[in-house]
Amino acid sequence: MKFRVNGEYYGINVAKVKEIMMAQHVKPMPHSNPAVEGFFKPRGQLITVINLSQYLFGSREPFGERDLFIVTGFNKMCVAFRVDTIEGISRISWNAIQKPDRTLGSGDTSVATGIAQCDEELVTILDFEKIVAEIAPETSIQVSEVEEMGDRPICNAPVVIAEDSVLLQKMLQDALERAGFMDLKIFNNGQECWEYLSEIKDAPDVYDKVRILITDLEMPLMDGHHLTKLVKSDEHLKRIPVVIFSSLIDEQMREKGKEVGADEQLSKPEIRHLVNVMDTLIKRFDKERVNQ
């Protein structure tokens, strides 16, 4: 979905959008982040409102009579974002979305997950998970959840991860290393991950290079469903456990994940659950290898 803020074009995956509504009166929340306008209560549900102009540009434009709220649902949360206009919905293949150059934003500073060409316009695909995580860190992956699991044994099984958000890459790495997983290979999207797997799949020791794959769904160049299907359709790789770890897991996505062969599907930010599932799948995989 393409929309405008301060005259600039931005995009969001429609899978994250629950509804579009005219902007409503918002009750301010004292001592909140400057980008948080407050909350409103449509149909009995409290929804936080984030002002994208404030977040992106550091200042709020005067509210317009035709402002809209994009009400989103991801990470088991419902958050509304104020925008100027909705420009429409475009069907764009994941492989047509380009990863931003590092000169446009590096490390944790980048708020764009991709750049897409929509008709005559270049549209910045925003990292809404990062936006919410920056404003409310407690809503994202928490290393403390892993620390509460107590001391864990070191696990040297190679873990391959496909995740496009630099912020979530860092959070995943910190949490999984704290959980004892010391051999992590992290790729920016499904395409980069698949290129690596394609390089090693004919090696006699392929399972010594990858013992489990963790993948996001939304990624430029290649999404997680396509990556999972490629892995599960390959004679050399299909035994590798694949876990889809995404903010978009719902019944529809879960069915699609089953169709492409995912072993498990978990909703972010349930990092403790992810660690337990990884333990189970790696042990099962290793036992199957010994018995063959």
pLDDT tens-digit series, residues 114-133? 888 887 788 999 999 999 99
Band of the pLDDT at 290, cuts 50, 70, 90? confident
Question: Quick one: how many helices (H) and strands (E) in the chain?
Answer: 8, 15
Distance between CA atoms of residues 125 and 139, nearest Å: 21
Q: Where in the chain is the domain with CATH 2.40.50.180?
A: 2-135
Band of the pLDDT at 284, cuts 50, 70, 90? very high
pLDDT for 90 equals 81
Q: Where in the chain is the domain with CATH 3.40.50.2300?
A: 141-291
pLDDT digits (tens, 9 = 90+) for 155-202: 999 999 999 888 889 999 999 999 999 999 999 999 999 999 999 999
The CATH H-level superfamily of 141-291 is: Response regulator (3.40.50.2300)
Query: Does residue 99 or residue 40 have the better pLDDT?
Result: 40
The fold adopted by the segment(s) 2-135 is OB fold (Dihydrolipoamide Acetyltransferase, E2P) (2.40.50)
Could you tell me how far CA 184 lies from the centroid of its own chain? 18
pTM: 0.84
Phi/psi of residue 253, each to 5°? -65, -35
Q: Whole-angstrom distance between the N-terminal and C-terminal Cα of the chain?
A: 49
pLDDT digits (tens, 9 = 90+) for 31-58: 999 999 999 999 899 999 999 999 999 9
